[in-house]
Amino acid sequence: MPHKFPNDFLWGASISAHQTEGAYKSDGKGLTVQDTRVRDNHEIADFTIASDHYHHYKEDIQLLAELGVQIFRFSISWARIFPNGRGEVNQAGLDHYQDVINECLQHNIQPIITLNHFDLPQTLEEIGGWSNRETVDAFKDYAITVFKAYGQQVKYWLTINEPNVMLLVDQKILGKQIPIDEKYQQFHHLMIAEKYAFKLCHELVENGQIGPVPNISLVYPATSKPLDNQASLYFNSVRNWAYLDFSCFGRYNAVFSDYLKQKGVTITFAPGDEALMKENFPDFIAMNFYTTVTVEKPTDKNNMTEGISDQQSEDIMDWGFYKGVTNPYLKKNQFNWTIDPDGFKTTLQTLYDRYHLPIIITENGLGAKDDLTEDGKVHDPYRIDYLKQHIEQCLEAIEAGVDLFGYSPWSAIDLISVHEGISKRYGFIYVDRTEKELKQLARYKKDSFYWYQKLIQTNEIP
Ligand code: BGP
């Protein structure tokens, strides 16, 4: 068998609305939790402008066509369509995404649309956000509107980006910490909203396919001590399987349920939830993967500050359950995230074995500080290296029998990182945000652009 990707493998690139679009009040858009969020880090750049993709989308899609991608993952900003989260539709918002979709299709690029990526409309946040069941109803109306508007042209849909990470890093994503019982009630509402999205997509979009978007970080035990293994079982369940077991099996994971019981948390179900969760399932899984984490069973309560993180082992602490530790066998990137391509293959195999659903990678990539040279070049061999190692593992996973049908890395263009602002870049395309260029936000192709372009042309890793 040639060591090559299948001919119908889908190559892509991904972004989200609030991290790229800017134009935060343009053409009737309402505010979102990302627009109102108070940012504690001065390096977190201005989301109100971001990469100004709202005004640059034609240029960006043209560049993606030159890159050669067959798919482009982006999210719709709910508050552009419903400025108040519900109620009246903003036609200008609907028209904007229609233009973006048309532009993609003209370049033979299939859009993959995420319904919501961390940017809940602010008016819904004011009634309690995902804690309030009314947000689920508003989400249903929003989903119906976009499925009806774009369903004839868009085949692939993604539900809500990473509910599992929203739980872990509420502070960083929403700008506030939520009490634990409210947090898990929110989780249930997110899960129910997703089930409605599966149902509505299947009812309204002919041949439509829809999947959940978890961020999976496989959890390793720090040693072969049985209690460290138990710690990894709990964190794997809370971090990874609680979400996907609900989506794909229609039930809460038993270890996760025990975790909630020990924490004294009870989730309230509304009438109809049980039937909805057991009757509606995804067509594929869209996985975001960056890193793996390593945990041990905590032994000294005095040495622990309660806290939790999504990507960095050292920040994970939950007394009685798990404590993150450094994995001595793995290298880290500039932002302290471990790099684990072998873990990527194991994750793909684990996921496929557990759920037997086709998988597409909708995020994977290296966040780094990039430099633009005087002559408009960005030399990013570190990114090429990261992508090369991870794409090689995709190929190995396919050869090992995993039904992986596409790879859409993070990110198409430079965008505003959730944790680090613009100081951490992911794109194949550099966006110049230095002050003198802020109005122009000029685009430059990085070395990784040309490398990825070659890969797409040949289906072989250069
Ligand atoms: C994922 C999110 C993305 C993205 C990425 C990298 O969890 O879906 O929105 O930003 O993580 O994280 P960061 O931007 O913090 O480096």
The CATH code of the domain that includes 445 is 3.20.20.80
Asked if 399 and 391 touch (Cβ cutoff 8 Å), the reply is no
CA of 76 to the centre of ligand 1 (A): 16
Tokens of 392: 């090689």
Q: Is residue 312 part of a domain?
A: no
Q: Which numbered atom of ligand 1 lies nearest the CA of 416?
A: 14
Asked if 416 and 44 touch (Cβ cutoff 8 Å), the reply is yes
Q: Which numbered atom of ligand 1 lies nearest the CA of 424?
A: 16
Say if ligand 1 is within 6 A of residue 417 CB: yes
Round to whole Å and give the CA distance between 21 and 28.
14
Q: Which numbered atom of ligand 1 lies nearest the CA of 172?
A: 15
What pLDDT score was predicted for residue 425?
Answer: 95
CA of 123 to the centre of ligand 1 (A): 24
CA of 249 to the centre of ligand 1 (A): 26
CA-nearest residue, atom 14 of ligand 1:
417
Say if ligand 1 is within 6 A of residue 165 CB: yes
Go through the chain and tell me how many residues it has.
462
Mean residue pLDDT of the chain comes to 93
Q: Is residue 294 part of a domain?
A: no
Q: Is residue 93 part of a domain?
A: yes
Q: How many CB atoms lie within 10 A of CB 96?
A: 23
Mean pLDDT, range 283-307, rounded to an integer: 86
Say if ligand 1 is within 6 A of residue 446 CB: no
- In this model, does residue 63 exceed pLDDT 90? yes
What pLDDT score was predicted for residue 172?
Answer: 52
> Which band of pLDDT confidence, cut at 50, 70 and 90, is reported for residue 325?
very high
Q: Ligand 1, from 77, 116, 339, 418: best to mutate by most atoms within 8 Å of Cβ?
A: 418
296 SS3 class:
strand
Residue 314 a catalytic site member: no
Q: Is residue 67 part of a domain?
A: yes
> Which band of pLDDT confidence, cut at 50, 70 and 90, is reported for residue 421?
confident
CA of 420 to the centre of ligand 1 (A): 9
Say if ligand 1 is within 6 A of residue 367 CB: yes
What pLDDT score was predicted for residue 13?
Answer: 98
Q: Which numbered atom of ligand 1 lies nearest the CA of 367?
A: 16
Q: Ligand 1, from 363, 369, 408, 424: best to mutate by most atoms within 8 Å of Cβ?
A: 363
- In this model, does residue 65 exceed pLDDT 90? yes
CA-nearest residue, atom 9 of ligand 1:
418
Tally DSSP H helices, then E strands, for the chain: 17, 16
The domain total for the chain is 1
Q: Could you identify the residue written with the tokens 């593992």?
A: 393
Q: Is residue 439 part of a domain?
A: yes
CA-nearest residue, atom 11 of ligand 1:
418
Say if ligand 1 is within 6 A of residue 63 CB: no
- In this model, does residue 42 exceed pLDDT 50? no
Q: How far is CA 224 from the centre of its chain?
A: 32
Give the range of the structural domain holding residue 56, as residue numbers without chain letter.
10-216+342-458
Catalytic residue, chosen from 21, 125, 363, 420, is: 363
Asked if 409 and 10 touch (Cβ cutoff 8 Å), the reply is no
Tokens of 375: 């002559």
pTM of model > 0.90: yes
CA of 2 to the centre of ligand 1 (A): 34
What pLDDT score was predicted for residue 440?
Answer: 84
Strand 209-213 with 156-161, pairing: parallel
Mean pLDDT, range 203-209, rounded to an integer: 97
Tokens of 53: 């993709």
CA of 269 to the centre of ligand 1 (A): 30
Q: Is residue 337 part of a domain?
A: no
Say if ligand 1 is within 6 A of residue 419 CB: yes
Tokens of 328: 């001595």
Type of residue at 197: A
- In this model, does residue 128 exceed pLDDT 80? yes
Q: Is residue 63 part of a domain?
A: yes
368 SS3 class:
strand
Per-residue pLDDT reduced to its tens digit, 219-238:
999 999 999 999 999 999 99
Say if ligand 1 is within 6 A of residue 162 CB: yes
Q: Which numbered atom of ligand 1 lies nearest the CA of 162?
A: 8
Angle between helices 254-263 and 226-236 (to 10 degrees): 90
Say if ligand 1 is within 6 A of residue 288 CB: yes
Say if ligand 1 is within 6 A of residue 424 CB: yes
Q: Is residue 287 part of a domain?
A: no
Mean pLDDT, range 13-41, rounded to an integer: 90
- In this model, does residue 300 exceed pLDDT 70? yes
CA angle 18, 219, 290 (to 5 degrees): 35
